[in-house]
Amino acid sequence: MLFSTISLNVMSQQDKAISINTDQPIAPIQSTMWGVFFEDINFGADGGIYAEMVKNRSFEFSKPLMGWSIKGKKIKEGDALVLNRQGSPSNPRFLRLAIKDAAKGDAGISNEGFRGMGIKKDLRYDFSLMYRQHRGNVWLHVELIDDKNAVIGTAQLKLGNADANWHKQEVSLVATSTIEKGRLNIWFEGNGLVDVDMVSLFPGDTWKGRKGGMRADMVQMLADMKPGFIRFPGGCIVEGMDLANRYQWKKTIGPIENRQLIMNRWNVEFGHRPAPDYFQTFGLGFFEYFQLAEDLGAQPLPILNCGMACQYNTAELVPLEDLGPYIQDALDLIEFANGDENSKWGKIRAGMGHAKPFHLKYLGVGNENWGPQYIERAKLFQQRIKEKYPEIKLIFSSGTDPDSERFHYLNNELRAMKADIIDEHYYRSPDWFLKNASRYDSYDRNGAKVFAGEFAAHNNNKITGSDKNTWQAAIAEAAFMTGLERNAEVVNMASYAPLFAHSESWQWAPDLIWVNNLQVYGTPNYYVQKLFSTNKGTHVLGITKDAKAISGTDGLYASSVIDTAKKEIIIKIVNTEKTALNQTIVLKGKKKFSVGTITTMDGDPEGKNSFEQAKSFSPKEQNISVKKQQLVLNLSPNSFNVLKLKYQ
């Protein structure tokens, strides 16, 4: 048994009681308190949640045939050419194929997918392409192929009559078996000269069944967290390695064939984790992002480039006098999200199928930018945005780390300019998280609010990939998060980072959720985040031991909230000791408690989850009873415990 509860008439002799004042809420908890950080890193978007299965569908990668192979004995030298159409800067390249007396299997192209294609038995797959048939009469045979080269799904389509225009055609096929690393073949039969572009394959089981949509299993993991916000699009990709490589939201909306692909900076960022096939197609662009936030009931929280490229890379700067278009991008994004259908950008949103506004309330200016050059730019953004949209809460960066001279400079400057919210990042050891659980106890209650915008406990550098997602890291985060919750008056939002990683394509670890082409699992860290965000409460309650906040006392970390709508109090207690602890809890106040639940996660600090054992570390719930306003818990070693007690 993981723990036991014993109702006592008298307080246990061996422990000092934890005391909770259930009648005096200290501060409200914002609906945004616990959210998610989404960045296209680790193949999180392209090759990840964006369900497109064809890699390099538009032949726009630096190497235009990367991911593709040309197949068949009837394709000779000069029969398959990459052309660059003039006057189409967003999608210039396409493939021209000369098909000569070809039968099925004589002339074709094949796509390897993102580390293969995850194909599921009996599922429908939607194939489409854009084509132009200059002459001839060509049939297409579309095939799903397994790892032994067997056909596991097939469909045919006939191209339309030859003319000078581009057309789109679609056909669906059903897979006959499941395979993690399938591929796609397209055979051309007949005679003709054909141009192809935007060759695409999507599974039929996308989130909400949307065509060209997202992987439902990955979105479901987010939906289960009930996140208060979604930070997007990052992260370092906001900045870009240089300004040309920055994220530009206007290039991510409208027809997907017009969304200009760029290299994902994580393609080359880490020499030891190269990803030469990592590009951003923006199939998951800003419209889809706002829609996702709406689906999940989360506040959208976009972070925009502030006229500065990554300071670890080129550190390119836009001169202050040229910053206008960057600020205009921010103003236009607000209009895109919130403007009515008569506004320029509201009309574009409505044209994409969302007449109603997305109710954007928060906007971040810059990601991990620093120095006086950042403050100068931040002030200009603040002035112009507040002039037009005083109601939008602006989030500013305090740089890359939480305790350096750089941080203190930015923190002071941002507070002096009355920033609404300051974004703090910490990737630190588990020990740092434990020692800093009381970080916000002394923060000014009346100044800028804090967004713990990126955090994760990073243990031992000798371990890599998903092995870094240990229970030791997760429990340190849980302990730290009790400190965030206790200080919800100051900390209004928090998100673990990064969110997703593909097991064969990651650049950065640890990560919250790991995926392959067919499966997804939550790390111990995921379940910690989920326990906080699904047990948010409405107000902070005081919880003490020895009349002090519980932040390391006897190896314990604790916070307590009340949910006035559900009529329950929620207590979170982390025992970081190697031994079990009997702990009495005394509920003070007029509210009467009798029943509740305790949900526990515990185990070996070195333990972790995996595809095979996806729920080794996951919450286990039991009923408990309260007698005479007290209960005694046996807190297991290295445990995170969430108690929910109903009151009348």
Interface pattern 256-295 for ligand AHR (x via CB under 6 A): ----------------------------------------
Could you give the 3-state DSSP secondary structure of residue 430? helix
Measured distance between the N- and C-terminal CA atoms of the chain, rounded to whole angstroms: 30
- Residue 631 CB, nearest distance to ligand AHR (Å)? 40
Per-residue HEC secondary structure of 291-314 comes to HHHHHHCCEEEEEECCCECCCCCC
User: Is 335 annotated in the active site?
Assistant: no
Report 145-204 residues binding ligand AHR (CB under 6 A).
none
- Of the pair 39, 46, the CB lying nearest ligand AHR is at 39
* Structure token digits, residue 284: 């998951």
Closest contact distance (angstroms) between CB of 303 and ligand AHR is: 9
Go through the chain and tell me how many residues it has: 648
Is 187 within 8 Å of 108 (Cβ atoms)? Answer: yes
Provide the minimum distance between the beta carbon of 37 and ligand AHR in the complex, in angstroms, as a whole number.
7
The DSSP bridge partners found for residue 186 are 109, 142
- Nearer to ligand AHR by C-beta: 236 or 352? 236
Identify which of residues 75 and 509 has a Cβ nearer to ligand AHR in the complex.
509
Check 368, 413, 485, 568 and give the catalytic one.
368
- For the chain, helix (H) and strand (E) counts, in that order, are 10, 34
Residue 60 or 454: which CB sits closer to ligand AHR? Answer: 454
Each residue 416-455 as x (binds ligand AHR by CB under 6 A) or -, in order, gives: --------------------------------------x-
DSSP 265: G
Q: Give 627's strand partners.
A: 630
In this structure, are residues 614 and 221 in contact, taking their beta carbons and an 8 Å threshold?
A: no
Site for ligand AHR in 348-367 (CB under 6 A): 367
Q: Tell me whether residue 138 or residue 238 sits nearer to ligand AHR (CB atom).
A: 238
Q: How far is the CB of 264 from ligand AHR (least distance, A)?
A: 11
- Cα 189 from Cα 199, distance rounded (Å): 17
Strand ranges (E), 520-555: 520-522, 539-545, 548-549
- Dihedral sign computed on CA atoms, order 378, 379, 385, 386: positive
User: Which residue intervals of 458-609 are DSSP H helices?
Assistant: 471-486, 524-533
For residue 403, give every residue at least 6 positions away whose Cβ sits within 8 Å of its Cβ, in sequence order, or none.
none
Stretch that binds ligand AHR, among 54-62, 233-241, 318-326, 478-486 (CB under 6 A): 233-241
What mask of x and - would describe binding to ligand AHR in positions 28 to 57, judged by CB under 6 A? -----------x-x----------------
Q: What angle do CA 489, 302, 418 make, to 5 degrees?
A: 45
Give the shortest CB-238-to-ligand AHR separation in angstroms.
Answer: 8
CB of 368 to ligand AHR, least distance (A): 5
Part of the chain binding ligand AHR (CB under 6 A), chosen from 119-127, 169-177, 232-240, 370-378: 232-240
In the complex with ligand AHR, the residue whose CB is nearer, 348 or 497, is: 497
CA atoms within 13 A on the CB side of 275: 26
Residues 454-493 close enough to bind ligand AHR by CB under 6 A: 454
Residues 6 or more apart whose Cβ sits within 8 Å of residue 130: 166, 167, 168, 196, 197, 198, 257
Nearest distance from residue 36's CB to ligand AHR, in Å? 12
Name the one range near ligand AHR by CB under 6 A: 19-27, 85-93, 234-242, 408-416: 234-242
**Which of positions 504-563 make contact with ligand AHR (CB under 6 A)?**
508
- Residue written as token pair 């419209």: 287
Write out the H or E segment, with its range, that includes residue 647.
Answer: strand 639-647
Q: Which of 363, 497, 501, 512 binds ligand AHR (CB under 6 A)?
A: 497
Nearer to ligand AHR among residue 59 and residue 455 (C-beta): 455
* Minimum CB–partner distance for residue 236 and ligand AHR (Å): 4
35/118 with CB nearer ligand AHR:
35
Q: Which of 116, 402, 498, 603 binds ligand AHR (CB under 6 A)?
A: 498
Of 454 and 485, which has the nearer Cβ to ligand AHR?
A: 454
Question: To the nearest whole angstrom, how small is the minimum distance from the Cβ of residue 456 to ligand AHR?
Answer: 8
Which residue is associated with the tokens 């919130």? 338
Number of other CB atoms surrounding residue 625 within 10 Å? 13
**Interface segment toward ligand AHR; rule CB under 6 A; list 10-18, 229-237, 468-476, 477-485:** 229-237
Interacting positions 236-255 with ligand AHR (CB under 6 A): 236
Instruction: Please work out the total of residues on this chain that contact ligand AHR, with binding judged by CB under 6 A.
Output: 11
Q: Which is nearer to ligand AHR, 39 or 316 (CB)?
A: 39
The one segment of 189-197, 231-239, 354-362, 415-423 that binds ligand AHR by CB under 6 A: 231-239
DSSP 3-state helix, strand, coil percentages of the chain (rounded to 5)? 20, 35, 45
- DSSP bridge pairs for 363: 394
Q: Name residue, tokens 């009997």.
A: 582
Name which of 305, 309, 237 is nearest 269 in CA terms: 237
Among 68, 64, 58, 95, residue whose Cα is nearest residue 80: 95
Distances in Å between the Cα of 576 and the Cα atoms of 101, 342, 473, 617, 640 are 72, 57, 11, 16, 8
Q: Which window, 57-65, 230-238, 250-258, 594-602, contacts ligand AHR (CB under 6 A)?
A: 230-238
Please report how close the Cβ of residue 367 comes to ligand AHR at its closest, in angstroms: 5
- Candidates 203, 234, 483, 522: give the one binding ligand AHR (CB under 6 A): 234
Contact 597, 579 (CB under 8 A): no
Which residue, among 214, 329, 261, 302, has the nearest Cα to 57 in the 3D structure? Answer: 261
Give the tokens for residue 414.
Answer: 């941002």
Which of 189, 197, 332, 368 lies at the binding interface for ligand AHR (CB under 6 A)?
368
Nearer to ligand AHR, 336 or 426 (CB): 426
Cα–Cα distance measured from residue 365 to residue 375, given in angstroms and rounded to the nearest whole number: 11
Of 235, 346, 399, 522, which one interacts with ligand AHR (CB under 6 A)? 235
Name the DSSP class of 260.
P
> Smallest gap, in angstroms, from Cβ of residue 311 to ligand AHR?
11
Q: List residues binding ligand AHR (CB under 6 A).
A: 39, 41, 234-236, 367-368, 454, 497-498, 508
Which residues are the active-site residues?
368
